[in-house]
Amino acid sequence: MTVADQGSNFYISANHVGATTRAEASITQLAELNSYVQVSVLPEFNDACVNDFHVIVVTENFWGTTRLAEINALTRAGGKGFILSETMGVSAYAFLDYGPDFTVTDKDGEPNRQFIISSIE
């Protein structure tokens, strides 16, 4: 981890730089967000890991879209949730797949919208 990582992760402090991974630096604060959720850092991810969790969260696209689609297919087949989220400067995206029976409802019934912010003053 480098000093630059502090610019994209507010859980990272100066004492983490060069001493630990971003995941290890963040786990304590992430676990504090919800005491009912067990949070862990895997030293290595493989397909067998999917069965050990209810949700697989990927926050960086290290593997490419083909591998991410494979992981998503594994989670879906096992009835698990899959979340992919990534930030790129001021841009970000999130993809969630909790299977075909999962429904998101909007309190006012409006359709989901996508938009791009082109200017902030």
Q: Is the pLDDT of residue 35 over 80?
A: yes
Q: Are 22 and 9 in contact (CB under 8 A)?
A: yes
pLDDT tens per residue across span 14-24: 888 888 888 88
Q: What is the pLDDT of residues 66-115, one digit of tens each?
A: 999 999 999 999 999 999 998 877 778 899 999 988 887 777 877 777 77
Q: How far is residue 85's CA from residue 93's CA, in Å, rounded to a whole number?
A: 6
Report how far apart, in Å, the C-alpha atoms of 56 and of each of 50, 60, 98, 121 are: 7, 12, 10, 37
- The pair phi, psi for residue 38, each rounded to 5°, is -85, 125
